[in-house]
Structure 1
Amino acid sequence: MSRKTKALDATTTADAGRAMGTAEETLKCPVCQDFFTDPVTLPCGHDFCLTCIQAVWETDGPNEGPLFCPECQAHALLHQQRSALREHTLVDVTEDPLSLKCREHREERKLFCMEDRVPVCCLCVLKSAADFRERLSDKYSRIRFVLDGDERLMMQIIDAEETYMTEWLEAQRGIVEDQIKEIDKLRASSRSLLQETNDLQFLQQITTQNRCDPLDLKPIQKVDKDLCDKEKLRTVEKLVDDLSVALSQHFPRMWSYLSSPVLDSNTAHPKVEISQDRKQVYWRQQPVSEALNQQPYDSQYSVMTQESFTTGQHYWEVIVQDKPYWLIGVTTGPIDKKDGPSPNSSRLCVNNTSWCIYYGDGQYLVCHDTQEKQLSVGKRCTEPLYLILNPCIDVNGLNRQPLTILWIKDP
């Protein structure tokens, strides 16, 4: 047996041992720490030996004494002793503990669905998103089915017109070819006749071949307008144009202009931190004494994006979660990237060519040129614009959440 096989066997044995240990723990009474003897289940769902729970309750009968659960009491005591758990809300044990959990996923229902007005679990939310994805995919499939069917119909009409026109032209070409052959034959016989030197034989051949009569050739038909009428094709084209106009009224979507720039660490203030994928900016942890002396909305703690925009239509989305303070805006600079990051390298709203939206104390404000004012959309900027993010200072752990640029992945 190789070392690799032995190691695999040892790992498998260890996993099996842990699984067996876990299974044994579930078969042991929390009071005596031994296998159950006459096990009973309390309304909260915890199991005990009959004699053990009676001893805890200090009663000999099943219906006497304070019917409390030692496991639930220990858990409640833990919430009182640990500071991190003191803010948790404790509820009384119901007769059906599973009523607090999702019946489908067996997970706690910690969220509330505003549409259905019922509590749901996290898996229900994910399943709801999956249902939306499936429904949207089905709707797009139906749209593609209708468009594909319309395209097939129009192409079939064009193909039918082309087939009939081709057949008619082939028939006319056959007639013309037969006439050409007949003319060539007549020309050959006429050339032979002209070479006859005997006058009597010449007259006899003319009479025999009816050369005195005019030629009886079928006239070449003109092109049938009904077979090659372009109005039919123009009608088909107009139907397609009408469909295109109807669809173009809803396209392109707003999300077609969604930009997903990345953050430029060279412009980040030293007190903010950029994620590895350069899509998130955090407030770097600072000493409490230092953080208390700073305003949470200070505009200097920012970072710019690497990309800039000079022309075209662009927009971006930033996930702010439940941050109580944040700043999002655009700026033209000036920034000297050669000197590296500095405390003033990414200040926001310090000139008349930068704008931002500030959220703080539950209010939204538009800031421009170091002042809070209404943003004028009439001015046009000719310099490159950079997206700039400011996560704002974290005080007492209330503003630790990052600002995240929404990123749509390519399929």
Structure 2
Amino acid sequence: MATKQSHLEEDLSCPICGSIFEKPVVLFCRHRFCKRCLESLWNGVGSCECPLCCQPSSMGELVVNATLEKTCEGFLKERAKNDPMACREHGERLSLFCLEDLEPTCGKCKSLGNHKGHRLYSLDEASQDCKEELKNALKPLREKLKLYQKAKLTCEQTTEHIKNQADQTERQIRAEFETLHQFLRDEEASRLSTLNQEKIQKSQIMKDKIEDLENDITSITNTIRSIEQEMRSQDVPFLKNYKETIKRTWRIPQDPDMVTGSLLDVAKYLGSLKFKVWEKMKDIITYTPVILDPNTAANCFLLSEDLTTIQCCSQTYDLPDNPERFDVGAEVLASEGFSVGRHSWDIEVKNNTYWVIGVASTSINRKGKHVLTPAEGFWTIRLRNGEYKACTAPWSPLTMNKELHVVRVVLDMDRSKLAFYDPRERTPLFAFTDIITPRAFPYFCSACKEHPLKVLPAKLSVSVD
């Protein structure tokens, strides 16, 4: 079918322009041409002759062959419907490209149809230019693709990290509750043991008391029985023994005394039982006013299981690059920020040679390097190269009497104030009075790989109003 169509197209093509006949004419030599093509050709030369066989001809022969014209029109319509390489409007082969409409066109579109007057040029040249344009247009898309692939990889790493976090957190929760359960079991066993010892002790006292009472009952019973037997004797023997018999009745024992405190001290075991156990539980419980947020920690940090200690390491850990995490500096925030009230926490910095502590605004950028100044949302002090300084602009040296072991941070959001103290001294090391942020998070930075920073637990007390 394709070969037939190809032969038909060849039969209906003008030898001059190569396109399907437009207003076809047939010369006496039986050769066929487009009327316009012959007119254009003969107008440029002196004589009229067939371009193929050179037989003489004349303008009078240029009569449109209606039958051939209808055949050409039918062929073009059929090709317009079925051939993807043909013009939909004219059925001609697509050979040009329209710059205005950005689509291929045929030769007729240049002078007729929707593309008349548009800028057109060859398909080969257009294809090269368009491919080059698409090549340049693909560059930002490829960059976006890399970003999306990186984001997908981060999400996959985050998913795996979530699983690891959940497993580790579950283990720690179970371990913490097992400690509490074991404390309660031990406390229960201790109280039950004490109860049982008191039960045995007081039961033994009552047993001994019962034995004494039984002995007294036996003695009195024997006395009564003996006297009654004497009373049944004949008169002479009875009276002879009467003196001794009557004396035995004079020895009347005292009333039996009951043992005081013989019952179990139930109130001691049940009175405010839960409160007393809870009060005693403070010996195994610690409270830390600030908890580190592992989701913000740089990948060079190793955090303790209770999230109170950070250690800067030489190695880096494979952690997802989530938006909350610091990615350049060795930094970490607390899990909870403060917007109102007064808050205090102590940080052990002993032997650590490079640290920065204080608070940071909730709006700080976690990515890239930071300038640790109040203008950038940081209110901190630091130790570096043996020098203690407040991170102001410019930085202010701190007057120190002795090396710091512990730093107390006191944040008063109601007064927009942040003060640093040595707990051994009464005067502050430094104070900021311009904490302007809707929420301030405790901030920590440490580049010392030998000694950690540690948030110290607060003292616990149980009181009753």
Q: State the TM-score, normalizing by the size of structure 1.
A: 0.31
Larger radius of gyration: 2
Q: State the TM-score, normalizing by the size of structure 2.
A: 0.28
